[in-house]
């Protein structure tokens, strides 16, 4: 249907020496990444969490025990297993354990509200959920409307050592008290299974369920939709293995068995899953897991574990750079700093470089592509105000938005369309959305971009109405639907405007109901009840009407421009 630059691939001449133009993608399940690493480096730390180091041999054994536990619960190949966890060993064990059993891992943000959780768990039809104890109440509140048969509950404290007090410089008694505070009492409800029960020794050897990597799903990763409802991107084992191969082939200076990746990005996000788990394990790297971003904890991890790879988003880097405790030596161990998920500005680039950060590259991806699509070259040649070049075996074209069959020449903006082995097979339970997004293997990204003559791509505008807050996608219609439930809201429109800290901030324009007075504080509390914190508008603006086009649709661009041009 489309052809990259009329059959040529101008970006290839800018590949660093040793980066292949073509790859041989192994026909293997995702679990082979772990198995191969455990075979080659059994004693090498796979995970570092708090003061605990888990070797590849130990991790594989824990994965096998979990897979056997799923068998005892009646989980069959193809069943969906929901993972509602922050970055912790249990997430990694459950992810690989589900895949070992032939099930499909479906990740969810543990901070979701009841409504958000209900939609995703209902949509994927999960039979089993693995839940952090602090998130159990949310799952419990909606469980009666789901087909969940078992809920496996765990605590962050399950894999923490009391010796964390050394890192925190706390007395032993205080460290024990803080550890106890991490544990939340969970009711003894039917079907609730402690995580430790899933770690009982198997009665017989556990084997990988036989599957076809190009056909069987490994994961369903939820993304936003044009209707504002999240959609589940179906990713096969081959999709994920292919993207791991692409990303590892891009890094010719990688050190198998030696690299240490700092995993601050949430693994439930596709960027975090690939860059902080699957790619590192393809090369038997160690992964330092941090449950959430906190500048002081990141600094301690940088100083103690001396990571060599640091994936993140610009807002994360900015917050770290703002810390008065940050020293240039803290970044001295890093050979790669990978930025993605949102625009990387020149100011952030300059600040990182002034502190001596090496190997900064900006890239681009989307959940539907597992997620990596483009990246700037490692080892020199990076043009980090662009998102770089298509990865090996990835084709990319810019097409006319009005006539999508017309490929545009270099320098002309249009919609970015891509193809490669990492591109997903469609959306779960959404054939119409799939047909609108995929065409003969080509993925319409919905992002407006321009490609220069060298093949470097610049994203001009994210999906038409999508808002990016700290790297997370927010669709205005989802927020508007919540706002319209409030009696004070007669009409509303939500837009994103540039924000130095978060990439964009959310502004809600509200036309008040004549019988109910407008209150920004009341609307904020209303939104906080139904939306994850990053989706809650930062500001509520009262308006008498909303700009509309001839078809009656709200023209968000006018609202956005009005805020940018007159922020007061």
Q: Is residue 347 included in any domain, yes or no?
A: no
Distance CA 307, CA 468 (A): 28
The tokens of 45 are what?
Answer: 């730390």
The stretch 157-163 carries a mean pLDDT of 71
Residue 167 has a pLDDT of: 42
C-alpha to C-alpha distance for 228 and 530, rounded to whole angstroms: 14
Q: Look up tokens 């032993």; give the residue.
A: 172
Say if CB 147 and CB 99 are below 8 A apart: no
On whether residue 515 sits in a domain, the answer given is: yes
pLDDT beyond 50 at 225: no
- pLDDT at residue 380, as a whole number: 83
Of 178-192, 406-420, 447-461, where does mean pLDDT reach its minimum?
A: 178-192
496 falls within a domain? yes
Q: Compute the average pLDDT of residues 284-298.
A: 96
The arithmetic mean of pLDDT across residues 122-139, rounded, is 97
Q: What is the mean pLDDT of residues 176-196?
A: 75
Return the pLDDT at 555. Answer: 81
Please give the pLDDT value at position 172.
Answer: 54
Between 467 and 420, residue with greater pLDDT? 420
| β-pair partners for 152 | 130, 193
* Domain containing residue 554: CATH number: 3.30.300.30
Whether the CB-CB separation of 464 and 528 falls below 8 Å is answered with: no
Is residue 226 very low, low, confident or very high in pLDDT (cuts 50, 70, 90)?
very low
With a CB cutoff of 8 Å and minimum separation 6, the contacts of 325 are 295, 296, 299
pLDDT of residue 287: 98
pLDDT of residue 181: 52
- Tell me what the pLDDT averaged over the chain comes to: 91
Give Cβ neighbours of residue 318 (< 8 Å, ≥ 6 apart).
Answer: 348, 351, 500, 501
pLDDT digits (tens, 9 = 90+) for 538-550: 999 999 999 986 5
Q: Which residues contact 173 (CB under 8 A, 6 or more apart)?
A: none
Q: Token match 């979701």: residue? A: 112
User: What is the predicted pLDDT for the residue at 389?
Assistant: 98
pLDDT value of position 168: 41
Percentage of the chain modeled with pLDDT above 70: 92
Task: Provide mean pLDDT across the span 71-85.
Answer: 98
- Does residue 165 carry a pLDDT above 50? no
- If you write DSSP's letter for every residue of 291-308 in order, what string do you get? SS--HHHHHHHHHHH--S
For the cut 60, the answer to whether the pLDDT of residue 92 exceeds it is yes
Query: What would the mean pLDDT of 142-171 be, rounded to a whole number?
Result: 76
The 217-223 sheet, strands edge to edge: 192-194, 150-154, 128-132, 80-84, 104-107, 217-223, 231-236
- What tokens appear for 227 in the block? 């209707």
DSSP string covering 213-246, please? TTTSEEEEEEE--TTSS-EEEEEEHHHHHHHHHH
- In this prediction, residue 109 has a pLDDT band, given cuts at 50, 70 and 90, of very high
Q: Is residue 324 part of a domain?
A: no
Higher pLDDT, 124 or 159: 124
- Distances from the Cα of 534 to the Cα of 112, 416, 502, angstroms: 10, 27, 10
DSSP H helices, 283-374, are 295-305, 314-321, 346-354
Helix axis angle for 314-321 and 295-305, nearest 10°, is: 90
- Measured CA to CA, the distance from residue 73 to residue 337 in angstroms comes to 41
Structure tokens at 314: 């610009």
Range name among 142-146, 380-384, 399-403, 525-529 with the lowest pLDDT average: 399-403
Q: Residue 264's pLDDT is what?
A: 96
Share above pLDDT 90 across residues of the chain, in percent, rounded to a whole number = 78
Q: Is the pLDDT of residue 173 over 60?
A: no
DSSP string, 536-562: S-SEEEEES---B-TTS-B-HHHHHHH
Domain-embedded: residue 122:
no
Structural domain including 532 reads 467-565
Residue 6 has pLDDT above 60, yes or no: no
pLDDT at 462: 64
Give the burial class of 204: count Cβ atoms within 10 A of its Cβ; 0-12 exposed, 13-18 middle, 19 or more buried: exposed
pLDDT of residue 1: 65
How high is the pLDDT of residue 170? 45
CA-to-CA dists, residue 64 to 2, 44, 196, angstroms = 44, 18, 13
Phi and psi torsions of 128, nearest 5°: -130, 140
Q: Which pLDDT value is given to residue 176?
A: 53
Does 8 reside within a domain?
no
Average pLDDT over every residue of 64-79 = 98
Question: What pLDDT score does 564 carry?
Answer: 78
| Residue 545 falls inside a structural domain | yes
pLDDT of residue 477: 81
**Alpha carbon distance 167, 170 (integer Å):** 8
Check pLDDT > 80 for residue 416. Answer: yes
Q: What pLDDT is recorded for position 228?
A: 55
185 burial via Cβ count (<10 Å: 0-12, 13-18, 19+)? exposed
- The pLDDT of residue 565: 78
| Number of structural domains in the chain | 1
Asked if the structure places residue 561 within a domain, the reply is yes
Query: Residue 4: its pLDDT value, please?
Result: 56
């Amino acid at each position: 249907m489309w052809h990259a630059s009329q059959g040529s691939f101008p970006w290839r001449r800018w590949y660093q020496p040793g980066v292949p133009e073509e790859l041989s993608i192994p026909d293997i399940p995702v679990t082979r990444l772990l198995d191969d690493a455990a075979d080659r480096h059994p004693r090498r730390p796979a995970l570092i969490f708090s003061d605990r180091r888990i070797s590849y041999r130990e991790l594989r054994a824990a994965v096998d025990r979990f897979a056997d536990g799923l068998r005892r619960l009646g989980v069959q190949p193809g069943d969906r297993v929901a993972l509602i966890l922050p970055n912790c060993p249990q997430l990694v064990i459950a992810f690989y354990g589900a895949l070992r059993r032939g099930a499909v891992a479906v990740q969810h943000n543990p901070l979701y509200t009841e409504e958000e959780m209900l939609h995703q768990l209902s949509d994927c039809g999960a039979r089993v959920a693995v839940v952090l104890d602090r998130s159990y109440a949310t799952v419990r509140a909606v469980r009666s409307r789901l087909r969940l048969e078992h809920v496996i509950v765990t605590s962050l404290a399950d894999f923490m050592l009391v010796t964390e007090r050394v890192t925190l410089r706390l007395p032993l008694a205080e460290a024990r008290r803080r550890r106890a505070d991490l544990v939340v009492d969970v009711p003894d409800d039917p079907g609730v299974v402690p995580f430790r029960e899933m770690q009982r020794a198997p009665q017989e050897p556990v084997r990988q369920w036989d599957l076809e990597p190009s056909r069987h799903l490994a994961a369903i990763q939820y993304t936003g939709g044009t209707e504002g409802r999240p959609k589940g991107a179906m990713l096969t084992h081959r999709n994920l293995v292919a993207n791991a191969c692409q990303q590892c082939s891009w890094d010719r200076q990688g050190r198998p068995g030696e690299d240490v990746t700092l995993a601050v990005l949430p693994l439930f996000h596709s960027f975090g899953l690939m860059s902080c788990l699957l790619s590192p394990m393809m090369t038997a790297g160690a992964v330092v897991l941090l449950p959430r971003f906190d500048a002081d904890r990141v600094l301690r991890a940088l100083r103690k574990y001396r990571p060599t790879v640091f994936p993140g988003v610009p807002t994360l880097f900015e917050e770290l750079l703002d810390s008065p405790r940050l020293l240039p030596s803290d970044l001295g161990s890093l050979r790669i700093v990978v930025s993605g998920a949102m625009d990387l500005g020149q100011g952030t680039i300059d600040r990182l470089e002034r502190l001596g950060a090496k190997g900064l590259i900006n890239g681009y991806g989307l959940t539907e592509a597992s997620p990596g699509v483009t990246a700037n070259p490692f080892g020199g040649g990076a043009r980090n105000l662009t998102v770089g070049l298509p990865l090996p075996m990835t084709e990319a074209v810019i097409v006319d938005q009005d006539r999508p069959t017309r490929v545009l020449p270099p320098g002309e903006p249009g919609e970015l369309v891509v193809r490669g082995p990492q591109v997903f097979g469609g959306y779960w339970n959404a054939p119409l959305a799939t047909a609108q997004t995929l065409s003969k293997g080509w993925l319409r990204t919905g992002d407006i971009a321009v490609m220069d003559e060298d093949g470097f791509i610049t994203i001009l505008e994210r999906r038409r109405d999508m808002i990016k807050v700290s790297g997370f996608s927010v669709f205005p219609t989802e927020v508007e639907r919540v706002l319209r439930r409030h009696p004070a809201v007669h009409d509303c429109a939500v837009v994103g405007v540039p924000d130095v800290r978060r990439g964009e901030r959310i502004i809600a324009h509200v036309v008040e109901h004549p019988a109910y007075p407008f209150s920004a504080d009341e609307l904020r509390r209303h939104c906080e009840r139904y939306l994850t914190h990053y989706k809650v508008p930062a500001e509520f603006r009262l308006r008498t009407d909303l700009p509309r086009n001839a078809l009656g649709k709200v023209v968000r661009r006018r609202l956005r421009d009005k805020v940018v041009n007159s922020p007061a």
